[in-house]
Structure 1
Amino acid sequence: MSNIAVETSGAGTFDMKLEIVVIPVTDVDRAKRFYSELGWRLDIDFKPGDDYRVIQFTPPGSGCSVMFGKNITKAAPGSVQGLYLIVSDIGAARNDLLRRGVEVGEPFHDTGGVFHHADGKCVVSGLNPLRQSYASYASFNDPDGNGWLLQEVTVRLSGDIEVGDPRFTSEVLKAIHPTTPG
């Protein structure tokens, strides 16, 4: 497998937006209470009969929503992992969730860089020491075990990032410039 990004011709000729992520839950009303208590906007609660229900919530500031309900997915409850919520201040976001009664893990960072390793081998407790963008995380689960990650992003990646830019981890820079030493 190559680590080289491939540019496609015609990219940007039309919008293609991620709109909804379906998450599997056991108890629809329990999930509705949980996501409501997060402070997310309830967009729809549609129940045309006893065998079908759709609930949609949107996190504050997000262009993408989550949807769950009855008979909308065959996935096992709790099987969706690695749902990223991007925040500008991970401490403030974590404190807000804790205040709302959500069990949020302690902040962590990954010595490997931009995305944490799911196997946990490179995970270190605490915020990224330099507070570099894309490098600090905290995690929580919904009542069914669907896994969420808060990721602190203070500066967005762009195509003009140069090697040595102190705003990003060396791993981010290597992803952009594969020839970066280190």
Structure 2
Amino acid sequence: MDELVVRTEVYADPVEVYEFLLDFPQYANYSEYLREVRTVTGDGGPGTRYALTFAWWKISYTARSEVTGVDPPARIDWEITKDIDAGGCWRVTPAASDDASDDTSDDADQSDDAPCEVALEVQFDPGSASSDALDLPRLVSFDWVLKKAVPLIRDEAEQVVERAVQDLEGSRRDVDLDVYVDSDRI
């Protein structure tokens, strides 16, 4: 399994951050390639299913995902339920109280809230992707599509986290991201 983790600090209450992240349909606002997230069934908790429509180049694809577990306000687990072995979670970790008081940077002025750490963790196996899932243009191989699309995952994850932070904090700032990649493909 390949793995990607994008984490950063958010100056907002962890409960508000968790509720914000639980609203999967809003994710289309943060991604260049995610066009729509439609709730198929559920209220955001375990068992909630979503249809995520992606578009890139001349290809459109609707992935199916499911929330597999929640631990408010700390964690939301999800998995892709067809065509690829993939899943992940959002983690929200409150800051230690002594860390917040030592911060004298301009970022500390962004909010009255102490920072919390937010992490998007994604695990996936590109080799498990089903070539039958896409209606490809003539003379375009599935392997070519994977080779071009998989590296976009890192950029998309970073963009989603950065844009979500801006909405959570209510203002624009440079967001420092800690990115961990365990993959030769991204």
TM-score (norm 2): 0.31
Greater helix percent: which structure? 2
Higher-RCO chain (CA-CA 8 Å, sequence separation at least 6): 2
TM-score (norm 1): 0.32
Question: Which entry has the higher C-alpha Rg, 1 or 2?
Answer: 1
